[in-house]
Amino acid sequence: MAETRRKKSAAGTKQEKTKIASAIVKLEKQREKLAAKLAERDERITESRRRAEDDRKDVGAVGDELVSLYADPDELLKHARVVGLDEIEENEFNLNIPRYVDTFEPEPRVEVKDALKALRDAEAAANAAETDLSRLLRSAGYAD
């Protein structure tokens, strides 16, 4: 580009200068196209690096989840277990996971005495709220 501009300043005739000026314009357009392609390439590289970083984070999260899963044997039994070929044959070679792994959470066991205590507490709270409401209504001038 610099060499072409030097040629333009060194050119003697107007025709040569015009020819060199059009060559400069052509070179500038090519430079702009190249710059646009380089910018697009850089954007793609940045995007692919960002996606790779996100993928690494996702893989790390899954790895952490698997480590915690294998650390708790009771939880692991809800997701995986080793099954013998005889059991697979009994299930007619059906490999659906629910046939081999119990994924259901057991219902929490509720003690009757705890449930009755919670009921008494709720009734006491309801009675207290009713008493407060009656008192507020009387103080506001409403008859009971």
* 8 Å CB contact between 20 and 11: yes
The two tokens of residue 40 are 């697009």
Q: Provide CB contacts within 8 A for 8, sequence distance 6+.
A: 17, 20, 21, 24
pLDDT for 8: 63
* 8 Å CB contact between 4 and 20: yes
Q: Which amino acid is at 132?
A: D
pLDDT for 9: 65
Could you read off the pLDDT tens digit of each residue along the chain, which spans 144 residues? 677 666 666 666 777 777 777 877 888 899 999 999 999 999 999 999 999 999 999 999 999 999 998 898 888 888 888 889 999 999 999 988 888 887 777 788 889 999 999 999 999 999 999 999 999 999 988 875
User: How far from each other are the two terminal CA atoms of the chain, in whole angstroms?
Assistant: 98
